[in-house]
């Protein structure tokens, strides 16, 4: 199975971060909003969330009606693999899935996600886009 990597990181200034990745490194910017953006880092998705002066005490941020972990990483897989992973981890292994949700419903970039916590407390997100061609699409 081939999978794309996803990493979400807080940033102090979204404008400065965007300029660095887009202008200095020459990386395309994908889906984005006022307080977050996706960077296409050689086919892998890095999401930056404007957290201001980040303090690891503030572990969450709001995306629409959902509260998400500010610091997490994950992998983007196709829908079949996502379903099998979910079944194996949640049903077969009885792991605690902290959140299962569909983001950006009926919009460009619609995707399913679920989060689990590893033994170190790190949050891991497993994503599956409805249309894989929209992972970095900026059309709204």
- The single-letter DSSP state of residue 131 is S
Tell me the two tokens of residue 82.
């996502």
Q: Name, in order, each residue with C-beta under 8 angstroms of 88's C-beta and a sequence gap of 6 or more.
A: none
- Residue 132 · residue 78 · CB < 8 Å: yes
86-107 confidence digits (pLDDT tens): 888 877 777 776 666 777 788 8
Distance CA 52, CA 1 (A): 37
What domains are there in the chain, each with its CATH number? Answer: 4-134 (3.10.180.10)
Tell me the pTM: 0.65
Closest CA to 101 of 125, 81, 133: 125
49-76 confidence digits (pLDDT tens): 887 676 666 677 676 777 777 677 788 8
């Amino acid at each position: 199975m081939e999978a794309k990597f996803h990493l979400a990181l807080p940033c102090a200034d979204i404008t400065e971060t965007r300029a660095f990745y887009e202008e200095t490194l020459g990386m395309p910017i994908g889906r984005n909003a006022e307080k977050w953006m996706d960077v296409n880092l050689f086919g892998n998705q890095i999401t930056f969330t404007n957290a201001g002066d980040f303090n690891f005490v503030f572990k969450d941020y709001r995306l629409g009606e959902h509260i998400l972990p500010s610091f997490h990483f994950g992998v983007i897989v196709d829908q079949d693999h996502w379903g099998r992973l979910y079944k194996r981890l949640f049903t077969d292994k009885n792991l605690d899935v902290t959140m299962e949700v569909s983001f950006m419903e009926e919009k460009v970039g619609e995707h399913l996600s679920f989060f689990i916590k590893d033994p170190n407390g790190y949050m891991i997100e497993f994503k599956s886009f409805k249309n894989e061609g929209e992972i970095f699409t900026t059309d709204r």
